[in-house]
Amino acid sequence: MGATGPSAIVIAFMLAFPAGTLVEYVLHRFVLHARSRTFIARRHRLHHKSNRADSLWGDFRDFLPGMTPFCWFGFLHSTTAGLAFLVGGVAYVFLLALVHTLSHNRPRLVFWMRPNSHVLHHGETPRHNFGFVTRFWDVVFGTYAKQGTGRGTTT
């Protein structure tokens, strides 16, 4: 069905990261910020209201189900690639949880982004900065904002 050697493992693992950034952006923008009354959208609105992150493990637990519909993609190539993509996806979700927690508690440690990026997202009308790990998709889809008043923590 396809190569299953070390290169397939590395490629599948690494592909999980750019795929994860797009999934993160789409789910955050269109599911978590939906006007619906679903449990997940209501819970996300509470997160915005409290303006605090959960613990690292709490965020990891909450974010992990978001990858479930996508974790099978690697299996289209081979079992080995599928497992590598799955492990890469879990690793990406951990990175996502870590960056989200740091964005609230120690934003300067998220050194590749402006310290106020997440603050802008938590403003009165969150229409900007839906990506946590990268703002790439915000730039692509026109939702990136770098101007704002907040700097430092959002708690």
34 — pLDDT class (breaks 50, 70, 90): confident
**Domain tally, the chain:** 1
Judge whether 150 lies within some domain. no
The domain of 52 spans 6-110
Judge whether 58 lies within some domain. yes
- Cα–Cα distances (Å) from 6 to 14, 84, 92, in that order, read 12, 10, 20
Judge whether 138 lies within some domain. no
80-115 pLDDT, tens digit each = 989 999 999 999 999 999 998 888 888 888 888 876
Judge whether 137 lies within some domain. no
pLDDT confidence of residue 16? 87
Could you give the CA distance from residue 5 to residue 78 in angstroms, rounded to a whole number?
Answer: 10
* CB-CB contact of 94 with 101 (8 Å): no
* CB-CB contact of 109 with 117 (8 Å): no
How many CB atoms within 10 Å of residue 28? 22
The alpha carbon of residue 116 and the mean position of all alpha carbons in its chain are separated, in whole angstroms, by: 17
Judge whether 140 lies within some domain. no
Judge whether 74 lies within some domain. yes
Judge whether 127 lies within some domain. no
pLDDT confidence of residue 153? 36
Judge whether 36 lies within some domain. yes
43-58 pLDDT, tens digit each = 777 777 776 777 889 8
Residue 152 has pLDDT above 50, yes or no: no
Please compute the mean of the pLDDT values over residues 108-128 and round it to a whole number.
75
pLDDT confidence of residue 77? 85
